């Protein structure tokens, strides 16, 4: 994956490759961010090779791509429960001391979805925040955008996400 924007490598290419290459799990949980709503659904330069670098926008875009990947997996792999979530703006090194969410709650929705013990957690294709469904950027549920994103990632990595069972 050398030669790609590091943020794209870490936030998008790595989870895409792991998903495409590993045996299908029963559940997948994708970590996104509320900032995905500020993401740009233009896939013409997802690797930031033609436009000037903007770290904030690249982060927002990457989290939009993660949420869309979760929805694509939910659609293409009906035998896998795939959901995305945002942990909230928590006071970490990245979030900073001004973050408004409680750090001790940041992981709760992830665990809740992973356990699948509560009604509602066995559905696929959702986007969650503090154990509640949350609206997403319109591109997340756009099947054409999902397919175009998968095609772009296949071209960047040389690996295609398997479809079918």
What residues act catalytically? Answer: 59, 63
Compute and round to an integer the Cα radius of gyration of the chain: 15
Indicate the helix (H) or strand (E) that contains 124. none
- HEC letters along 47-98: CCCCCCCCHHHHHHHHHHHHHHHHHHHHHHCCCCEEEEEECCCCCCCCCCCC
Nearest partner of 12 among 24, 4, 23, judged by Cα: 4
β-partners of residue 84 are 30, 127
Rounded to whole angstroms, the Cα distance separating 148 from 143 reads 8
Rounded to whole angstroms, the Cα distance separating 137 from 42 reads 13
Cβ atoms 83, 94 nearer than 8 A: no
């Amino acid at each position: 994956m050398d030669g790609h924007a590091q943020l794209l490598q870490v936030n998008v290419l790595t989870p895409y490759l792991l998903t495409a290459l590993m045996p299908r799990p029963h559940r997948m949980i994708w970590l996104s961010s509320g900032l995905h709503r500020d993401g740009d659904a233009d896939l013409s330069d997802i690797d930031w090779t033609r436009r000037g670098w903007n770290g904030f926008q690249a982060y927002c875009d990457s989290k939009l791509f993660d949420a869309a990947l979760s929805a694509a997996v939910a659609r293409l792999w009906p035998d896998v429960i795939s959901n995305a979530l945002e942990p909230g703006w928590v006071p970490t090194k990245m979030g900073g001391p001004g973050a408004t969410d409680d750090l001790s709650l940041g992981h709760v929705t992830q665990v809740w979805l992973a356990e699948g013990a509560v009604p509602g957690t066995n559905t696929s294709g959702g986007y969650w925040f503090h154990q509640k469904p949350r609206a997403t950027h319109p591109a997340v549920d756009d099947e054409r955008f999902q397919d175009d994103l998968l095609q772009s990632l296949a071209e960047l990595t040389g690996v295609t996400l398997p479809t079918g069972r």
